[in-house]
Structure 1
């Protein structure tokens, strides 16, 4: 599989899962550590528009702020540091993630909006969980006034306003069956 080249100022869906579908997060502490490592390695290199951490996979919606090589190396450092810590904690060895992180270029604003909703709805569609209360998704960040590194204002502008952002998330989302959104 040829990997898409990442380009500065472009938007991407970044995702990966555990090798053979195994869990990459066993508890909340793992997820918190992953988010801290994400900030450590990628702060200022990417802008984050949405994320969701499920037990066996994750999704990020990002824009590159620097060149591809720098971002790819930062992601590599993130995944390596997280895998080493997770393996130590769980007394396991070997690869944790599938070979390469997946990346899909987002071609237009409509796709970007749909993907943000898709990422936030992951808990609902994978485990029938209430996505509005799911702790490891950026959805609650948009409901809050707390300071954040998520591109809250830019995302809300993309949806028109806060009310439309919430409305779009609460609709039956048939677009999840579109061919360009997949696991």
Structure 2
């Protein structure tokens, strides 16, 4: 059962990372076109708006994969001197706190959309090209839920096997 859930979560994590990759390609392309356009006296209109929204895709799209492979900054200066149970407790605490944070980001963003769009009737848009925020807020919500789910599955793996489930951690 857990293997099936992990397989589904891995698929969602890869999809999220793919969307983050698309965001990165968009940002690089927009910046390139803007820089070349500026050289010829015709900058790309809305480049700042597009780059900012692409950053949402890059950051939130890649977060679940970063957690899955253990890609976060990790200072393990004293880890070699620590007992195994303390390392496990640190892995558990980081997954639990991360899960709570990303669930909180999803909830807060959802509440923001509900308030702005449905209660106040305000459609938030970027300054230059009127790009609506709602699509990007929706992505933040979905990607944060995927990240929280991945961290929850890491908690379950920690409890059931003692393994932190991250590919790059030296003590897994």
**Length-normalised TM-score, structure 1:** 0.24
Larger Rg: 2
Structure number with the higher helix fraction is: 2
Structure number with the higher strand fraction is: 1
